[in-house]
Amino acid sequence: MIAELGHYFLVLALGLTVIQAIFPMIGAARGSDRMMMLGQPAAYGQFFFSLLAFLALTYSYLISDFSVSVVARNSHSLKPLLYKISGVWGNHEGSLLFWVMFLALFGAMVAYFGKGLPKSLRARVLSVQAMVGIGFYLFMLLTSNPFDRLSDVPFEGNGLNPLLQDPGLVFHPPFLYLGYVGLSVVFSFAIAALIEGRVDPAWARWVRPWTLLAWVFLTIGIVLGSWWAYYELGWGGWWAWDPVENASFMPWLVATALLHSAIVVEKRDTLKSWTILLAIIAFSFSLLGTFIVRSGIITSVHAFATDPERGLYILVFLALVIGGSFLLFAIRSDKLQAGGLFAPISRESGLMINNLFLSVAAAVVLYGTMHPLLSDAFFGVKSSVGPPFFNLVFSLLMIPLVVTMVYGPHLKWKRADIKGVNQRLMAVTGIALLAGLMTFYVTYGGAIMPAIWIGIGVWLLLSSLQELASRIKLFQAPFKDSMSRLRRQPRSSWGMTLGHFGFAVGLLGIVGTSAWTIEAQKVMGLGEDMTIGDYRLTLKDVIPVAGPNYTAVRGIISVSPKNGAENGEIFIAYPETRTYVSSPITTTEGDVKTTMAGDLFIVIGESQGQGRWGIRAYYKPMQVWFWIGTIIVVLGGLISLSDRRYRIGSPQGQKASRKMKHAP
């Protein structure tokens, strides 16, 4: 009964979405207020019914209603509550429902907070948002109904792949989806602006919080996935350039570019059609990601069950949405007048170069991901480019990007003085060079790239601090003055400082862990030991343990310094290998000792007989820097998001809001 209601709500939501798509658009074209006003109630109603549908599916999962096909295929009555809930969006049908529910929520938010928007712009944004929505509702109802019933009701569900039963993965997909859907709002604003034929700083201020929100969600989503891979897959990898990882990375790169180019539109009223194009591309990549995951066109471990009918539907949908937008862009973008001019060396140029490299990076990822398909489709050759390609290209491409990150924030708008900046950066550059040289000296005989990268990372780290210091006139003005300047820094500029600083910290982590990871493995009996790096591992005991839906073998491994085990142990590691009840899969739960210097990652394999176990250990230098860096970056995004001038629903700039205070 509940499932049928859910299906019914979904159809109702579709009906309201059609209204939301048609009337505001016509109203905006004819200047009819009444038709435009229909957009808001339709958006609220659509959200209400899609939420009800989502709750109906969640309810089916909670009570383990195995007559619902999706629940039977993906859930299990013994599954912990958390995973029953996450199961709702852990599959093709449910994730679509999740998508569309948030699409409706964001539409409703535009309707609610958009009171300050020009009427016609708001109407058009809501209409475009609804058109995208229609595609998703139809996709669900025609090819992937989450409320399909089974005629023979099974006693027990199939269960969720135990690898996916992990807290990191509970929140990884929803954050990604929120990022993708957030970009849909930016997309709707871009299309609406193309139809209006007008992009101005107010438009950019409107788009910024949405871009930032989507970008923060995407960042969190990607990092959670990476963190899950690191802890759960048991080989200490955190990024593998898998097509599905790439599919989330491409919109992130473009959204990062968009974030920066929107600043130029806002401050200098220029780079308009480029910004619009980025907004379209960012969302196109989100849709493309959806397509890659669900059509089976590129093989990946992540893929959902594939179905040619679905693939064809998505392809037509993509052609309409993306092709239509690009066509609109081609016809209408010359209406956008460029504003302020700027010199080749200026903040604007810095942001443009940053955009260029981020876009090239996205194009490279697109090419690498599509390569197997392209060579197969056009040349009949099966081949793929693999991680070495991406690693090489990125390690080269990121250098100029970081250079612009170092210089950009120091440059003034319109025209900047590069000599002055060079002088200001002299000390920082010196220290960075020193850091690079020292790394080269310490690792002499090894690869040279890591040393270069350490230097570059340190350079960015320090220059972002120096930029803050010069903004608050540290050591130039009395200390008290500097502190009060520090307090008065707008939150958006905190966002930039933290964003760049965190990026540098994360970058150093990436360099450390990818360049100097060491690995050791040994089959050990009780009491035997092995060494890795500066550590000595002694296998003390191996005991069986029982969890809620698994049994496990747990190793007790004492870790002490390599030289002088008698000095006592540093800590005891408890790695586990779990075997799940519902499926014959084992998962490894490595035990990780994290220090700033590096992670010691210990994994226990299965018994090798005669009381011996295979133990694997990794030492991953500076791994934690990567996680800390991403946390700082996300923090920067959130702080920037809370900037009063840019809050969602505040179209006026600082000046305007100041004026309003004085108004009677």
Partner 1 sequence: MPLKRFLPLFIFAGILIAFMIGLSLKPSEIPSGLINKPVPDFSLPPLQGDGIGLSTADLIDPENIVIVNFFASWCGPCRVEHPALELLGKLDGVKLHGIAYKDRPKNSLSFLKSLGNPYDKIGADLKGRVAIDWGVTGTPETFIIKNGIIRYQHIGPIHQMQVDDLILPIIKNLQQEGAS
Q: Would you tell me which residues interact with partner 1 (CB under 8 A)?
A: 158, 233, 273, 277, 280-281, 284, 291, 295-299, 301, 303, 305, 308, 311-312, 315, 318-319, 322-323, 326-327, 329-331, 333-334, 370, 372-374, 376-378, 382-383, 577, 583-586, 605-608, 614
Task: Tell the smallest beta-carbon distance from residue 242 to partner 1 (Å).
Answer: 9
**Helix, strand, coil abundance in the chain, percent, nearest 5:** 65, 10, 20
- C-beta of 281 vs 511, nearer to partner 1: 281
Three-class SS state of 60: helix
Distance CA 448, CA 444 (A): 8
Closest CB to partner 1 among residues 312, 396? 312
Dihedral pair phi/psi, residue 343, rounded to 5°: -80, 160
CB of 559 to partner 1, least distance (A): 23
Instruction: Please give the helix or strand (H or E) that residue 587 lies within, else none.
Output: strand 586-589
Please give the helix or strand (H or E) that residue 608 lies within, else none.
strand 598-609
**What's the distance, CA 130 to chain centroid?**
24
Q: How far is the CB of 606 from partner 1 (least distance, A)?
A: 4
SS3 for 179?
helix
Question: Any idea what the Cα angle at residue 564 is, between residues 559 and 567, rounded to 5°?
Answer: 70
Nearer to partner 1, 106 or 618 (CB): 618
Report the SS3 class of residue 38.
coil
> Closest approach of Cβ 4 to partner 1, in Å?
25
With b meaning 16 or more CB within 10 Å and e meaning fewer, what string describes 449-474?
bbbbbbbbbbbbbbbbbbbbbebbeb
**Two structure tokens written together for 319:** 């052609």
Smallest Cα–Cα separation from 39: which of 100, 124, 133?
A: 124
CB of 501 to partner 1, least distance (A): 34
Starting at the earlier edge strand, list the strands of the sheet with 612-621. Answer: 518-525, 612-621, 598-609, 591-594
Question: Toward partner 1, which CB reaches closer, 288 or 511?
Answer: 288
Cβ 300 to partner 1, closest distance in Å?
9
Residue whose CB is less far from partner 1, 130 or 322? 322
CB of 298 to partner 1, least distance (A): 7
Nearer CB in complex with partner 1: 65/232: 232
Residue 272 beta carbon to partner 1: minimum distance, rounded to whole angstroms:
13
Question: How many Å from the N-terminal Cα to the C-terminal Cα in the chain?
Answer: 57
**CB 32, min distance to partner 1, A:** 30
- What is the C-alpha to C-alpha distance for residues 85 and 79, in angstroms, rounded to an integer? 10
Q: Which is nearer to partner 1, 363 or 631 (CB)?
A: 363
| Closer by beta carbon to partner 1, 85 or else 303 | 303
Q: With respect to partner 1, which residue has the nearer C-beta, 615 or 622?
A: 615
Q: For 619-636, give the DSSP string.
A: EEETHHHHHHHHHHHHHH
Least distance CB 71 / partner 1 (angstroms)? 16
Minimum CB separation of residue 504 from partner 1 in Å reads 31
Closest to partner 1 by CB, 318 vs 452, is 318
Other beta carbons within 10 Å of 166: 17
- Structure-token pair, residue 173: 């997909």
Amino acid sitting at position 299: T
Q: For partner 1, which is the closer residue by CB, 536 or 578?
A: 578
Between strands 571-573 and 529-532, the pairing is unpaired
Nearer to partner 1, 380 or 548 (CB): 380
Rounded distance between C-alpha atoms, residue 446 and residue 412, angstroms: 40
The rounded distance, in Å, linking the Cα atoms of 437 and 459 is: 13
Name the minimum Å distance from CB 584 to partner 1.
6
Residue 383 CB, shortest distance to partner 1, in Å, is 8
Nearer to partner 1, 9 or 227 (CB): 227
582: CB partners within 8 A, 6+ apart: 76, 78, 79, 158, 159, 162, 549
Buried/exposed 528-554: b ≥16 CB within 10 Å, e otherwise: ebbebbebbbbbeebeeeeeebbebbb
